[in-house]
């Protein structure tokens, strides 16, 4: 029993949200149905206006002709138009229009019908309309005057239907907006409730070994580029310099971007971060994500197991990956490389030697694209090896 009582309060808020949402959706559905009904009423009123226009001309087409039966066709049109107008003036067809206005329209229709009947009766007689021209003129004037009154009533009905449809449309929009807000509030309620629950679980799960391993990985990864950070590089260097005789040759290369500060000052830190992210991705593709690192700021590094004959191509690829440009800006890199363990057998010596060579490269005159294409990135390594010997 206590467990049941504890669960009930937790079920009440979601149940209230579901009920309110269902009611809001039903209300929107009803408003849309009302709008559709008003539009249908408006169309009926517009159809009645067209029928009235046709009714005024229908009896005049009943005169006998050499071909066909115009009298029957005219009578059929008159009856069809009359039914159309009569239906549009029924209370059940125009539920939102004042009964007095509908009654006025029906009275005008009743007044028109005998005039139409008289004109039709004259048209089907021998001699047709021409035989009683004066009488026809009087009847036509009477028909026009009474039709004008009915047309005014139909126009009022159509305007009211249009206004009602517009109100219903606006209410449907507001109802839909309110429903969306309600759904958003419900989402936020469950979202923040889930966040609170997740945070509580996460605090407990921090003691779990699995999450501890994940945190260690995150501590070795640069958040901006996804490359290894300085801590990961230090660990890799320590591994590459341990027991040098048993380890294969590793190529350590340090890259420092040229022109990045100007780009960052010109376009802002957000654009600078985006450029670092892009260049970091290119470097990972060119050198390999597991062996490329961001040391911080605009400095990158690579520590790869590499055969001597492949070093030049690898350095060419990584230097090219760290070059980008656009309208009014250009970013490239200076670099320095060292072999481990043949040139440096400790972490500090390897980093210092690569750093010295990188700054030596940075002090040189900025290369053009053609010069960069002819430049041999492995030359600093070869020169240093010769000097050492």
> CATH topology for 12-188?
1.20.120
> What residues does CATH 3.30.70.270 cover in the chain?
215-388
Task: Please give the pLDDT value at position 286.
Answer: 93
Is residue 191 classed exposed, middle or buried when 0-12, 13-18 and 19+ CB atoms within 10 A define those classes? exposed
Q: Are 54 and 17 in contact (CB under 8 A)?
A: no
Half-sphere exposure (Cβ direction) of 6: Cα atoms closer than 13 Å: 3
Task: Please give the pLDDT value at position 369.
Answer: 45
Task: Please give the pLDDT value at position 25.
Answer: 78
Dist CA 76 CA 84 (whole Å): 12
Reading the block at residue 245, the tokens are: 């005789």
CATH of domain 215-388: 3.30.70.270
> What residues does CATH 1.20.120 cover in the chain?
12-188
Positions of the chain with pLDDT under 70: 1-11, 42, 65-68, 91-96, 205-217, 243-247, 365-389
Task: Please give the pLDDT value at position 157.
Answer: 79
Reading the block at residue 204, the tokens are: 């407990």
Q: Are 161 and 94 in contact (CB under 8 A)?
A: yes
Dist CA 15 CA 183 (whole Å): 13
Task: Please give the pLDDT value at position 384.
Answer: 46
Annotate 45-93 with DSSP letters as a single string.
Answer: HHHHHHHHHHHHHGGGG-S--SSS-HHHHHHHHHHHHHHHHHHHTSTTT
């Amino acid at each position: 029993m206590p467990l049941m009582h504890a669960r009930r309060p937790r079920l009440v808020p979601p149940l209230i949200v579901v009920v309110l949402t269902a009611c809001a959706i039903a209300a929107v559905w009803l408003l849309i149905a009302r709008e559709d009904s008003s539009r249908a009423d408006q169309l009926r009123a517009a159809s009645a206006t067209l029928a009235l226009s046709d009714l005024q001309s229908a009896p005049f087409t009943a005169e006998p002709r050499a071909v066909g039966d115009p009298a029957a066709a005219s009578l059929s049109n008159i009856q069809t138009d009359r039914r159309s107008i009569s239906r549009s003036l029924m209370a059940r067809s125009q539920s939102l229009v004042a009964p007095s206005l509908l009654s006025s329209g029906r009275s005008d229709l009743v007044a028109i019908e005998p005039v139409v009947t008289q004109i039709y009766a004259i048209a089907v007689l021998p001699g047709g309309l021409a035989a009683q021209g004066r009488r026809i003129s009087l009847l036509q004037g009477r028909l026009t005057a009474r039709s004008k009154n009915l047309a005014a009533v139909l126009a009022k009905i159509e305007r009211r239907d249009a206004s009602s449809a517009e109100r219903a449309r606006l209410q449907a929009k507001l109802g839909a907006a309110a429903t969306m807000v309600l759904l958003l509030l419900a989402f936020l309620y469950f979202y923040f409730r889930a966040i609170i629950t997740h945070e509580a679980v996460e605090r407990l799960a921090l003691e779990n070994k699995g999450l501890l391993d994940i945190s260690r990985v995150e501590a070795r990864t640069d958040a901006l580029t996804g490359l290894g950070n300085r801590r990961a590089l230090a660990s890799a260097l320590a591994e590459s310099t341990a027991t040098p005789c048993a380890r294969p040759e590793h190529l350590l290369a340090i890259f420092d971007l040229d022109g990045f500060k100007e780009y960052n000052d010109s376009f802002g830190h957000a654009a600078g971060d985006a450029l670092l992210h892009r260049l970091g991705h290119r470097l990972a593709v060119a050198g390999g994500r597991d062996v490329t690192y961001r040391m911080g700021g605009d400095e990158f590094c690579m520590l790869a197991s590499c055969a001597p004959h492949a070093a030049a191509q690898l350095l060419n690829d990584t230097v090219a990956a760290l070059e980008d440009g656009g309208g009014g800006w250009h970013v490239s890199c200076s670099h320095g490389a060292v072999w481990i363990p043949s040139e440096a057998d400790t972490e500090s010596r390897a980093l210092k030697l690569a750093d010295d060579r990188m700054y030596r490269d940075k002090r040189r005159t900025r290369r053009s694209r053609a010069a960069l294409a002819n430049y041999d990135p492995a030359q600093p390594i070869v020169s240093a090896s010769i000097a050492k010997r």
